[in-house]
Amino acid sequence: MSNPTHKPSQLQTINEIGGFLDEARLLAEKEQPVPEQIFKEIAIQALAQINPSKPMGTAFFDAMARTALRPGEDPEDLFRRLEQGEFECPIVSKRFIGNLNCPGGLRGHFFTPVYLVVIRESEKSSGKWFSVDNLPHDTVDHHAERLIPFAVEAFERMGS
């Protein structure tokens, strides 16, 4: 019988992550889809190893949330990163429209400053843009249900 207060050793956790990665690799080699649960288990096991009091570095922030402010950054730094990275095109203008307060989220309380941003698309832009009326089926629920409607409402108020 296992002890519910027993915390697995780092080696056990690394072995579990390795097992999940091996399973994902085998499925990919067979050109079969990798179940979402495998990715969730890898993330859960890996994130459990993080000491929240220590800096994680830019690679961690890039992987987790490209729109999170890094230590010492302000919103202007974030906009520069988005221009050079995710957007790959210049930001023509940006306007703060308000804070989206979501205290009841499954992952915690999110308090998000929201901006309307106008970009100038360029040939090197690799991203794909969607109409808010035709979002992809895999759009993050929080974005589709809260963030995008919040921004659309603000945009519509600006036009009146």
Strands (E), 14-158: 91-105, 108-119
Amino acid 18: pLDDT: 74
**Residue 66 domain-assigned?**
no
Whole-number Å distance between alpha carbons of 51 and 39: 21
Domain total of the chain = 2
In this structure, what DSSP letter does residue 68 have? S
Placement of tokens 């089926």 in the chain: 137
The stretch 78-83 carries a mean pLDDT of: 88
In a domain, 68, yes or no: no
Secondary structure tally for the chain: helices H, strands E:
6, 2
Q: Report the C-alpha gap between 55 and 66 in whole angstroms.
A: 16
Across 129-153, average pLDDT: 89
Q: Comparing 54-63, 82-91, 131-140, which segment has the lowest mean pLDDT?
A: 54-63
Q: Is the pLDDT of residue 54 over 50?
A: yes
Q: How many other C-beta atoms can be found within 10 angstroms of the C-beta atom of residue 47? A: 11
Domain membership flag for residue 118: yes
Residue corresponding to tokens 């790959």: 88
- Do 45 and 108 fall within a single domain? no
106 belongs to a structural domain: yes
